[in-house]
Structure 1
């Protein structure tokens, strides 16, 4: 027998064994192997889809974060602007109030000064009047102490009365 020469019987039995092996493999091995491959393929596809969804969600979250950050910046700027306006208004109000108080104090001081001036002038007038009366009394006493001087004074006064 020659090992290299094919014989029909051997070929026939090898073909039958090969077909039986393929049928057994198809019935028992291919379905579980294909099922496992299909399951693995589905899980890989699900993982890829999940990764794509996660990527899209991250992009959406990033866009939302940018939007929120921009809104926060706008709100911060508005709050700062409002705070500056309130500060400026408070400073202006305080300045106006201080000016008003200063004007009031100055007006009170001027009134007080005027009142004190008037009181001082009245006091001076009273003192001048008292002093004048005292001087006049002394002059008149001296004038009236002498009889000749009294007559002369009466004559001068009568001359003044007739002249007026």
Structure 2
């Protein structure tokens, strides 16, 4: 499959498209996940959670910068509350980590909870696997703060 071949050859655009396909359950999502699966299991995955204002984004930012200083590539899955207007992520975490996006060794993806309680999107695990297959050394998953996904 072309998108998988490009993802495995470190195309950031292919990684973005693959995450979108899986997150939105496009027709080729299962095939993408099936084909990348043999290429997973290599990344170190870190989860960060806590209440609003605890410094989750600050910790994620500092960890990513430290890993980059050590020559590691970093994927970040930033789970944000779902916008009641668009259904997508509110993007608060990505805005707070804007300086990281200029680094080619860091890939930041915001994901909406889409109604999932507990701080994670149901597709966050798939995004981690896709980043792993892409070749990220470290993947940081930052959850929504406690109570932040219960937005009216």
TM-score where L is the length of structure 2: 0.14
Indicate the structure with greater strand content: 2
Indicate the structure with greater helix content: 1
- Rg larger in structure: 1
> Comparing both chains, which one has the higher relative contact order based on Cα–Cα distances under 8 Å and sequence gaps of 6 or more?
2
